[in-house]
Amino acid sequence: MEARSSTVVSALIAHETEQLTVGWGIISPFTRHPVQVAMDARVVQEAAGPDRFLLGFGTSKIFLNNARIATKKTLGPMREAVEIVRGVLGGEAFDYEGETFSASVPALAPEAEGPRGVPSLYVAATAPKMQMLAAEIADGLLTPSITTPDYVRWTIGNVREAGRDPETIDIGCTVIASIHESDRDAGREGAREIGGMYLANKFQNIKGAADALLESAEIEMDELAPVAEAMEHGGRLAAKGQVSDTLLDRCRPIAGTPEDCIAAIEEYREAGCTHVMLELWGADRHEQIRLFGEKVLPHFRG
């Protein structure tokens, strides 16, 4: 679980910025009822202004484990949550009866101030059935951390299997990242650390659902046991020490020097990723953000 609520923080960020796109990537429909999600989304929409807010849903096995919520049903609740949020944010009277979630919401009064549009809605998905559901109902699909180019290609196949043209859906890929202006090894240390945290998570929390993810990276579950054990007993720095160069390489980070990062992003783009979400970690992250903005981003904007 995160230390702060993304719904609150995103509203603050939206209020203090003018151009930055603000998104929830992601919140779980099990953390708050979809009607509450719609109300929170309307606050962020109002703070951000038109077309600056993206709403992201995901089951979040970590949250389910932390909150001791036991459920084997995720596809139905996700579909219902998406339908309810869209219905409520449309501003008209909305009634819905679902198996997990229901809603009865009156229309916004004509004189009521506030946004009435529905923002672009993304669904985070790891397993094939959830990816196909995302292709069916969402504007975008978000892949999990430790995404690799091969996993992106596998995801594109699931989108096609669902009957959707991949060109019509935004494929957002979560990739571990770090950067240094000139030292490749130093530029990989942040990715190594956050890679250790996420690899431990894959071992501890989402066995089964992560099979395809790990297979695409050619990582065996047994390899993650030392990382998970180090994380449990010594924290993230201990886990980092268990992430060898070869294990990090198979995670396919966007890391190293600016030239390394550009080459990595190009490979993700060729695989079908339409935007990357950097899981940026390591020392002096403000400096890392500056380097990505000044040394990497212009290559793709130019």
Average pLDDT over residues 189-206: 90
Give the CATH class of 1-124. Answer: alpha beta
Report how far residue 292's alpha carbon sits from residue 140's, in angstroms, rounded to the nearest whole number. Answer: 24
**pLDDT tens digits for 100-137?**
999 999 999 999 988 889 999 999 999 999 999 999 99
Report how far residue 65's alpha carbon sits from residue 60's, in angstroms, rounded to the nearest whole number. Answer: 9
Number of continuous H segments (helices) and E segments (strands) in the chain: 14, 9
Phi, psi of 199 (to 5 degrees): -65, -40
Phi, psi of 108 (to 5 degrees): -65, 140
Residue 97 neighbours by CB under 8 Å, 6+ apart: none
Asked, colleague to colleague, whether 1-124 and 127-302 share their fold, the answer is: yes
The token duo for 110 is 């004509």
Task: Indicate the pLDDT class of residue 71, thresholds 50, 70 and 90.
Answer: confident
Ranges 27-31, 48-52, 189-193, 233-237: which has the least confidence: 27-31
The amino acid sitting at 68 is: R
The amino acid sitting at 67 is: A
Cβ(217)–Cβ(151) under 8 Å? yes
CA proximity to 130, closest of 59, 63, 179, 72? 59
Average pLDDT over residues 282-291: 97
**pLDDT tens digits for 25-62?**
899 999 899 999 999 999 999 999 999 999 999 988 77
Report how far residue 165's alpha carbon sits from residue 158's, in angstroms, rounded to the nearest whole number. Answer: 11
Question: CA gyration radius for the chain?
Answer: 20
**pLDDT tens digits for 255-269?**
999 999 999 999 999
pLDDT surpasses 60 at 1: no
User: For tokens 């990537």, what's the residue?
Assistant: 25
Q: What is the dihedral of CA 210, 212, 216, 221, to 10 degrees?
A: 50
Cβ(28)–Cβ(75) under 8 Å? no
Indicate the domain borders of the chain. Answer: 1-124, 127-302
Handedness of CA 291, 294, 298, 301 (dihedral sign): positive
DSSP state of 162: T
Q: State how far the alpha carbon of 235 is from the alpha carbons of 4, 128, 249, in Å.
A: 20, 31, 22
Structure confidence at residue 126 (pLDDT): 92
Burial 225-256, CB ≥16 within 10 A → b, else e: ebbbbbbeeeeeebbbebbeeebbebbbbbbb
Phi, psi of 147 (to 5 degrees): -65, 140
Burial 102-121, CB ≥16 within 10 A → b, else e: ebebeebeeeeeebeebbeb
Average pLDDT over residues 186-203: 95
To 5 degrees, how large is the angle CA 147–CA 285–CA 245? 45
Average pLDDT across the chain, whole number: 94
CATH architecture of the region 127-302: Alpha-Beta Barrel (3.20)
Average pLDDT over residues 160-183: 98
CA proximity to 9, closest of 43, 50, 56? 43
Task: Indicate the pLDDT class of residue 208, thresholds 50, 70 and 90.
Answer: low
